[in-house]
Each structure stands twice: as structure tokens, then as C-alpha cells.
């Protein structure tokens, strides 16, 4: 009963927060409590140093920890991009099972088989995906400000979708390289990455050169076309292609994940226990709205389980925010 009540309360808090429906009433009724109980400052944004969306390097390597839209495992992706071709190699490993290795060119998508270091096979799937552009952010992208995220100084960029919602990209202020991306719905651009709700990039670095020209030539010369309609040709996403099977990639999956994101392990979950929140707490937060018309909210969240399980949020858009 207690757990059910807590879950319901949490859903009601975040449902209200995302819809931004409680801001006016709570801000009006709680300033005395905010001042009396807690004096920490609210998170703030500084102005963006540049209003021009940053372009990515001509060649780069990235590792992503990716959360799907649907219920399921986390995936780890390794990406190598070369704008001179253009082409991108996307290797995706499921944290629990599955692996796929793809070479995406401007004219074809190839499914690689064999070890990652030295693929032995290459099958053409047709033009299933397209290489990402050098500029991930469209001309309609807006930088709402700069604020630290997990102690990393980031620019907060939002891009509009067809239904006036926002996809979000957090770009490192120091380097201009992606640090985290959030999509409200699957997107073909950038390829593979846009199929995930949230991707965190622990690694994103420029490269002086890549081996993609050699890999492209290998596939163009030897890759047979997939024979008729099958599981691989019908698959729409990398996650679907992971189910097709690649024995060599599956055999090295654990080793590769450990090298790409050291310390990441699904097995560790067997020893983990659900975290119990304190009965009372207060915290600051930045709520990221779904609507493109809104900007992030500097927020105070109060929680008191012992007093009727009440939760209160104060969401402010002033800069600097004032309770």
C-alpha cells in the first residue's frame, strides 16, 4: 500500500511539472516556506556565447549510452564519421544481448559481420539509413542559455519538431561537441542516434583520419545484396537489426562494452536495491519542457511523505529566478 501510494504521488508530481500547470498557484502560496526552510540559490542560465549552432568536426569518434523509447535494455553505440565520403560506421551492442555493425554511406547501408577490428563479411541492405550531416542542429535551433549539467558546462539547444515540440541537444561549452541528446519521437537524423529517446556521450572526439574509405571500398567490391525480403531487409532500426544475429559481434560484446564505457555492467544490477528516498527533502532542478514555445524552468521541489504525501513544485522562468 505504501509503495503504491508513493508511486502515484510521484506520477502526479512529474505529470504536473511537465505540463507546467502548477507554477502560478504554488509560487503564489509558498514564498514564506521557501525563504524560511531553505536558502540555496536556484539554478540559473547565462547567455549563450554564440547564437550560431556549432558544426561538428569533419571526422569524429563517439560513444553513446542510449535509452530506447520502448521498454527494453540500454544500448551502447560506437560511431565513427567521415564527412569526406560521407559515411558513418555505427556499432551497437545491447547491454544484455544483441549486436549489430553497420556502415552507412550516401548510397547504401551495409551490415558487417565478423570481429569489429577486422570484418570478414559485408551485406548490402539498400539505402536504409543516411549519414548524418556535419550540422545536427537545424537553422531553427535556439540556444536558450548555458548552465552546468552534472558539473559539465553546457549550451542548451532546442530544435522544433513538426508538432511544435522540442528535441534537445546539450553541447559542451568548452568544445562545442555533443554531450547529451533527447528526442521526443524517433527521428531519421542523425541516423541510429535519432532512434533513441536519450543518448549520453561519454566520448565525443575529433579524428585526423578514419579507416572508413578502406571499409567502404571493401563493401562496395564484395558485398552481396541481401536475398529477397528477410529479417534484415525488413528491419527499420538498428535495434531490429540486432535481433538478426552476428556471432562474432555477440562473442566480443561484453569485452567491447567494457572498453567503450569502463565500469558499465548489467550484471551489477543483480546486487542493486531500489533507492529509498528520505521522508522529507527539498531539491533544485531545471525542468526541460516538451513544448518548443517554453524555455526550461528553474524549480524548487518539496517532498514530505509524513504529511499526507504532499509534493510541491515552484517553477520560475525569471532570469535570475526569484521565489
Q: Under DSSP, is residue 93 helix (H, G, I), strand (E, B) or coil? A: strand
- What CATH number is associated with residue 246? 2.50.20.10
Q: What is the mean pLDDT of residues 305-318?
A: 72
Work out the pLDDT band at 230, boundaries 50, 70, 90: low
Work out the pLDDT band at 13, boundaries 50, 70, 90: very low
Q: What is the mean pLDDT of residues 206-232?
A: 82
The answer on pLDDT for 203 being more than 90 is yes
Condensed to tens digits (0 to 9), the pLDDT of residues 76-117 reads 999 999 999 999 999 999 999 999 999 999 999 999 999 999
Q: In this structure, are 84 and 145 located in the same domain?
A: yes
Residue 100 lies in a domain: yes
**pLDDT score recorded for residue 228:** 55
**pLDDT score recorded for residue 38:** 57
Residue 323 lies in a domain: no
Residue where one domain finishes, among candidates 223, 239, 264:
264
Q: In this structure, are 107 and 225 located in the same domain?
A: yes
What distance in Å separates the CA atoms of residue 319 and residue 298, rounded to the nearest whole number?
A: 9
Q: In this structure, are 213 and 152 located in the same domain?
A: yes
The answer on pLDDT for 21 being more than 60 is no
How far is CA 131 from its chain centroid? Answer: 18
Q: In this structure, are 204 and 142 located in the same domain?
A: yes
Q: What is the mean pLDDT of residues 14-36?
A: 36
The answer on pLDDT for 70 being more than 50 is yes
Q: In this structure, are 214 and 283 located in the same domain?
A: no
Contact partners, residue 239, CB within 8 Å, separation at least 6: 68, 72, 75, 92, 98, 195
Entry pTM: 0.84
Q: What is the mean pLDDT of residues 287-303?
A: 89
CB atoms within 10 A of CB 113: 18
Which range of 137-141, 195-199, 281-285, 300-304 scores highest in mean pLDDT? It is 195-199
What distance in Å separates the CA atoms of residue 170 and residue 294, rounded to the nearest whole number?
A: 17
Q: In this structure, are 76 and 142 located in the same domain?
A: yes
Residue 322 lies in a domain: no
The answer on pLDDT for 23 being more than 50 is no
CB atoms within 10 A of CB 47: 11
Domain containing residue 245: 51-264
**pLDDT score recorded for residue 96:** 92
Condensed to tens digits (0 to 9), the pLDDT of residues 241-260 reads 888 878 888 899 999 999 99
Work out the pLDDT band at 120, boundaries 50, 70, 90: very high
Residue where one domain finishes, among candidates 223, 244, 264:
264
Q: What is the mean pLDDT of residues 33-61?
A: 79
Condensed to tens digits (0 to 9), the pLDDT of residues 148-160 reads 988 899 999 999 9
Q: In this structure, are 74 and 17 located in the same domain?
A: no
Q: In this structure, are 35 and 58 located in the same domain?
A: no
Residue 321 lies in a domain: no
Q: What is the mean pLDDT of residues 62-85?
A: 95
Number of domains in the chain: 2
Q: In this structure, are 173 and 28 located in the same domain?
A: no
Q: What is the mean pLDDT of residues 126-141?
A: 90
Amino acid at each position: 500500500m505504501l509503495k503504491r501510494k508513493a508511486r502515484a504521488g510521484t506520477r502526479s508530481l512529474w505529470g504536473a511539472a511537465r505540463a507546467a500547470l502548477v507554477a502560478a498557484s504554488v509560487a503564489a502560496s509558498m514564498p514564506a516556506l521557501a525563504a524560511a526552510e531553505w536558502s540555496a540559490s536556484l539554478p540559473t542560465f547565462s547567455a549563450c556565447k554564440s547564437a550560431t549552432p556549432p558544426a561538428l568536426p569533419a571526422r569524429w569518434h563517439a560513444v553513446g549510452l542510449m535509452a530506447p523509447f520502448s521498454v527494453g535494455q540500454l544500448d551502447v553505440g560506437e560511431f565513427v564519421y567521415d564527412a569526406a565520403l560521407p559515411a558513418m560506421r555505427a556499432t551497437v551492442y545491447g547491454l544484455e544481448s544483441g549486436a549489430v555493425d553497420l556502415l552507412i554511406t550516401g548510397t547504401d547501408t551495409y551490415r558487417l559481420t565478423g570481429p569489429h577490428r577486422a570484418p570478414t563479411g559485408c551485406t548490402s541492405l539498400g539505402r536504409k539509413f543516411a549519414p548524418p550531416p556535419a550540422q545536427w542542429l537545424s537553422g531553427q535551433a535556439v540556444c536558450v542559455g548555458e548552465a552546468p549539467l552534472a558539473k559539465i558546462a553546457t549550451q542548451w539547444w532546442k530544435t522544433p519538431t513538426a508538432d511544435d515540440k522540442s528535441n534537445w541537444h546539450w553541447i559542451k561549452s568548452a568544445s562545442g561537441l555533443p554531450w547529451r541528446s533527447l528526442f521526443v519521437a524517433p527521428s531519421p537524423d542523425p541516423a541510429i542516434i535519432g532512434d533513441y529517446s536519450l543518448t549520453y556521450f561519454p566520448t565525443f572526439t575529433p579524428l585526423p583520419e578514419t579507416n572508413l574509405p578502406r571499409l567502404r571500398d571493401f563493401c562496395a567490391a564484395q558485398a552481396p545484396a541481401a536475398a529477397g525480403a528477410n529479417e534484415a531487409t525488413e528491419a527499420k532500426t538498428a535495434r531490429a537489426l540486432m535481433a538478426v544475429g552476428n556471432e562474432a559481434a555477440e562473442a566480443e560484446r561484453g569485452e567491447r562494452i567494457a572498453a567503450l564505457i569502463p565500469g558499465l555492467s548489467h550484471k551489477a544490477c543483480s546486487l542493486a536495491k531500489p533507492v529509498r528516498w528520505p521522508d522529507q527533502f527539498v531539491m533544485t532542478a531545471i525542468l526541460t519542457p516538451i513544448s518548443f514555445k517554453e524555455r526550461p524552468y528553474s524549480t524548487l521541489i518539496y517532498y514530505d511523505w509524513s504529511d499526507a504525501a504532499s509534493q510541491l513544485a515552484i517553477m520560475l522562468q525569471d532570469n535570475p529566478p526569484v521565489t
